């Protein structure tokens, strides 16, 4: 049959339309009219294989791109008219990455410490660069995790900047407290027990006494007979009475750590 013609029938899809992916689009047929009757059917074709009926429509696209939108109206006598426009769907804007520098950190001067960025993420892409600044003027270091050794004690500001695959950045800072190395106390070796005779010098030795992480700077011998201390490394001492004496050697290292040991000295007639 010959299609019904209605020259007075007007269709208006309005547009062009645009929005961001994931957001609904509101379509309006405002301006569509039929002066000598009414419009019975509004059919929207969204260009993505989906259709909807109604004077106005709402649709959400699932992929970015530009779609051809068609509104077809039909009057009460079957007359049809169409109008076409476009709808552009933009990708969502890039969201910045989120950095996690962790910390604060506690470090020891001269010892390697591990710094990590676990917890850093990018919700809509990937982090392509990690840039560390350890606050000690040693330059930038690149990588997800780092091993760094401080050469001075103090408190340093660590800054981590991350960059995603679209160039957005996020930066965070934390503190690192760098303390001196823990001093290990000296090891005393008195080489006793000793024995000797009244009024004859007894030779004492600290041979084998050592300091694992420094130097011994002081020796102090107490001969347990009321005499004054002796500060030599390997002294001699003369007892005036027979008996058992508990000789004590105290040594001090460059960092002030002290170690003490005692040995028996038996004096005969």
Could you please report the per-residue DSSP string of 112-149? EEEEE-TT-B-TTS-EEEEEEE-SSSS-EEESSEEEEE
Residue 240 in this model has a pLDDT that exceeds 60 = yes
Radius of gyration of the chain (CA): 45
d(CA 60, CA 58): 7
Q: How large is the average pLDDT for residues 238-256?
A: 97
Q: What whole-number percentage of the chain has pLDDT above 70?
A: 99
pLDDT at 1: 52
pLDDT value, residue 36 = 86
pLDDT tens sequence across 36-79: 899 999 999 999 999 999 999 999 999 999 999 999 999 999 99
Q: Burial code of 96-107, b = ≥16 C-beta within 10 A, e = fewer?
A: bbebbbeeebeb
Q: How far is residue 257's CA from residue 3's CA, in Å, rounded to a whole number?
A: 108
Rounded to whole angstroms, the Cα distance separating 34 from 40 reads 10
| Per-residue model confidence (pLDDT) at position 3 | 58
Q: Which domains does the chain have, with CATH numbers?
A: 17-90 (2.60.40.10), 105-179 (2.60.40.10), 194-268 (2.60.40.10)
> How far is the C-alpha of 55 from the C-alpha of 260, rounded, in Å?
98
242-to-55, 191, 245 alpha-carbon distances in Å: 122, 21, 9
Query: Does the predicted model carry a pTM greater than 0.75?
Result: no
Predicted pLDDT of residue 231: 98
- The answer to whether 113 and 147 have CB atoms below 8 angstroms apart is yes
Alpha-helical runs (H) found in the chain: none
């Amino acid at each position: 049959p010959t299609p019904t013609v209605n020259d007075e029938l007007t269709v208006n899809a309005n547009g062009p339309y645009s929005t961001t992916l994931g957001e609904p689009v509101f379509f309006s047929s405002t301006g569509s009219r039929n002066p000598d009757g009414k419009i019975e059917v509004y059919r929207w074709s969204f260009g993505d294989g989906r259709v909807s009926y109604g004077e106005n429509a709402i649709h959400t696209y699932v992929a970015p791109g530009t779609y051809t939108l068609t509104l077809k109206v039909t009057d009460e006598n079957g007359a049809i008219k169409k109008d076409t426009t476009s709808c552009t769907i933009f990708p969502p804007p890039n969201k910045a990455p989120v950095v996690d520098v962790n910390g604060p950190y506690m470090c020891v001067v001269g010892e390697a410490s591990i710094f990590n960025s676990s917890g850093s993420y990018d919700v809509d892409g990937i982090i392509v660069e990690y840039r560390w600044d350890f606050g000690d003027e040693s330059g930038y270091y690149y990588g997800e995790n780092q091993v760094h050794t401080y050469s001075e004690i103090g408190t340093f500001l660590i800054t981590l900047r991350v960059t995603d695959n679209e160039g957005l950045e996020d930066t965070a800072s934390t503190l690192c407290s760098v303390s001196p190395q823990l001093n290990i106390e000296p090891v005393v070796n008195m080489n006793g027990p000793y024995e000797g005779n009244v009024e004859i010098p007894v030779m004492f030795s600290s041979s084998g006494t050592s300091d694992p992480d420094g130097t011994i700077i002081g020796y102090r011998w107490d001969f347990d007979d009321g005499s004054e201390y002796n500060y030599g490394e390997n002294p001699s001492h003369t007892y005036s009475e027979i008996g058992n004496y508990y000789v004590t050697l105290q040594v001090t290292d460059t960092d002030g750590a002290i170690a003490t040991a005692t040995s028996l000295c038996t004096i005969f007639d």
